[in-house]
Amino acid sequence: MRLGCYKLLTTVALPLIAWSGWKRCKKHQQQRATRPELPAIPHCFASRFGRNPTPFRTGGIWIHAVSVGETRSIFPLLRALKADYPELPLTVTNGSTQGAIQALRFAPVDIQHQMIPYDFPFAVNRFLDQIQPKLVIMIETEIWPNLYQACSNRNIPLVLANARLKEKSFAAYQKWGGKMLKDALNQTRFIGAQFATDAEHFEQLGARPDRIKTLGNLKFDLEIPTGLLKNAESWKTQHGLQTRFIWVAASTHADPEHGESEETKMLETHRELLQTQPDALLILVPRHADRFEEVADLLAKSGLNWTQRSRQQPISADTQVYLADTVGELMLWFAASHAAFIGGSLVPFGGHNILEPAALSKPVFSGPHYANLKALFDTFIEQAALGLIDSPNDLAHHLAELAQKPQRQAELGERAYRAFAQQSGALQRLMHEIAPLLSDKR
Q: Which residues are catalytic?
A: 70
The answer, yes or no, to whether residue 441 has pLDDT greater than 60, is: no
Q: What is the crossing angle of helices 3-12 and 14-34, to 10°? A: 60
Q: Note the helical H segments in 67-144.
A: 68-73, 75-84, 97-106, 121-131
114-133 per-position pLDDT tens digit: 999 999 999 999 999 999 99
What is the torsional sign of CA 366, 370, 374, 376? negative
pLDDT category at 379 given cuts 50, 70, 90 is: very high
pLDDT category at 168 given cuts 50, 70, 90 is: confident
Q: Which of 234, 215, 229 is nearest to 160 (CA)?
A: 215
Looking at every residue in the chain, the average pLDDT score rounds to: 95
Looking at residue 331, what is its pLDDT?
A: 95
292-346 per-position pLDDT tens digit: 999 999 999 999 999 999 988 889 999 999 999 988 899 999 999 999 999 999 9
**Average pLDDT over every residue of 14-36:** 93
29-57 per-position pLDDT tens digit: 999 988 888 999 999 999 999 999 999 99
- Phi–psi pair at 12, nearest 5 degrees: -60, -35
- DSSP for 417-428 reads HHHHHTT--HHH
Looking at residue 54, what is its pLDDT?
A: 93
194-238 per-position pLDDT tens digit: 999 999 999 999 999 999 999 999 988 888 888 999 999 999 999
- Enumerate helices (H) and strands (E) in the chain, giving the number of each: 19, 14
Q: Which of 129, 181, 179, 176 is nearest to 160 (CA)?
A: 181
pLDDT category at 442 given cuts 50, 70, 90 is: very low
Q: Which amino acid, 5?
A: C
pLDDT category at 406 given cuts 50, 70, 90 is: very high
